[in-house]
Amino acid sequence: MEPLKCTDGTVFSEKGRLYTVSRNPGMRVYGERLLTISGTEYREWSPDRSKLSAYITCGGTAFPFTRSSHVLYLGAASGTTSSHVSDIVRNGKVYCVEFSPRSFRDLVKTAERRDNMNPILGDATDPEEYGFLIDKVDIVYSDVAQKNQADILANNMERFNARYGMVCIKARSEDVTAEPKTVFEEARKRLLNRGCRILDMRSLEPYEGAHAIIVAERPRTVYCIVMKDDRFLMVHNLKRKGWEMPGGKVENDETTEQAAVRECLEESGYEAALIDKKNIGYCDVCVCLLGKKISKGEMESELFETLPDNLAFDTDEYENVIEWARCCIRQ
């Protein structure tokens, strides 16, 4: 049993077949073959049953999943592929969104045996519908058979601040009259227009006809903790319906520090003076001192001593970086 290098040792190959390490030894999800080697049980991951497995089998190497990834899976159906994702992200979570009540019932049964799978009955075209159930995610994986598949992926990546996205493009769901290659190229261009970088685009032939997977990455992002004495600045994002730290995308011609100061000015109208920064994985965080108010700003802004209840993002993360910011300005 050999680990695949492109998967950081989370997917294995043996005699040309793919496997994941079973999270629930002895339990099959869809009748898959189980294989035990040196006390470790592996589940066969067939490319005929899973488009993500087909992607790897067809030579795909842009595989952003790690053992600690938090994944939003759109179109999880009964849980065939998402159960393997559950194996892969052993220390993370898989939020499984499914629209069909019939498939959702089967998905719930699968998730009952896997403590890192969270089934959600919802519509992938409306991330606000299930946004309150999900913390930040690292990856959005989309397998939704309907029009505008690239935008569905991009909308969910933006809503949950995911760095990576994978979308299975079903050509016939977009346009039954167009050539699949044309549909795939249009989806690729759409993701580029939405500000993503394309890491890979690969046909799933011969396992899935008129299907391709596109792997995309959002640009590096930054946000800033802008301090005045012991208070910190937040802006109210109407789109995400909550308070957040000012921040956004790092443009090609600027550093993360420059982006943090620019985003603070654009969103709040306040100037900011950089003190320190650190990388927290999916983005950078900068500590700044509050400067002059020189414009109205794009969003409502306010200084807080404690975090407000209606936050756009995860409370735990903000608590950690605010404490770090307070230490920085006291030094």
The amino acid that residue 235 corresponds to is V
Length of the chain: 331
What is the rounded distance in angstroms from the CA atom of residue 236 to the CA atom of residue 149?
29
CA distances in angstroms from 265 to 12, 149, 271, 290, 317, listed in the order given: 48, 34, 5, 10, 23
Is the predicted pLDDT of residue 50 greater than 80, yes or no? yes
| pLDDT, averaged across the chain | 94
Would you list the DSSP string of 37-87? ETTEEEEE--TTT-HHHHHHHTT-------TT-EEEEES-TTSHHHHHHHH
pLDDT at 228 over 80: yes
pLDDT of residue 320: 85
Q: How far apart are the first and last CA of the chain?
A: 52
Contacts for 192 with CB less than 8 Å, ≥ 6 apart? 198
Query: Residue 239: what pLDDT?
Result: 87
**pLDDT, tens digit, 9 for 90 and up, residues 296-308:** 999 999 999 999 9
Tens-digit pLDDT profile for residues 268-285? 999 999 999 998 876 899
50-217: what fold? Rossmann fold (3.40.50)
Contact between residue 122 and residue 100 where contact means Cβ atoms under 8 Å apart: no
180 pLDDT more than 70? yes
Topology adopted by domain 221-330: Nucleoside Triphosphate Pyrophosphohydrolase (3.90.79)
For position 190, what pLDDT does the model report? 95
Confidence check: pLDDT of 18 > 70: yes
Q: Could you give the residue range(s) of every CATH 3.40.50.150 domain in the chain?
A: 50-217
Whole-angstrom CA distances from 92 to 72, 106, 205 are: 11, 22, 31
Residue 119 belongs to what H/E stretch? strand 117-121
The string of pLDDT tens digits covering residues 69-109 is 999 999 999 999 999 999 999 999 999 999 999 999 999 99
Residue spans of alpha helices (H) in 89-179: 101-112, 149-159, 171-174
* 155-166 residue pLDDT tens: 999 888 898 999
Distance CA 44, CA 67 (A): 18
pLDDT at residue 252 is higher than 80 = no
Residue 317 clears pLDDT 80, i.e. is over it: no
Residue 128, pLDDT above cutoff 70: yes
Predicted pLDDT of residue 221 = 86
Per-residue pLDDT for 30 more than 80? yes
Confidence (pLDDT) at 282: 66
Which residues make up the CATH 3.90.79.10 domain(s) of the chain?
221-330
pLDDT at residue 196 greater than cutoff 80: yes
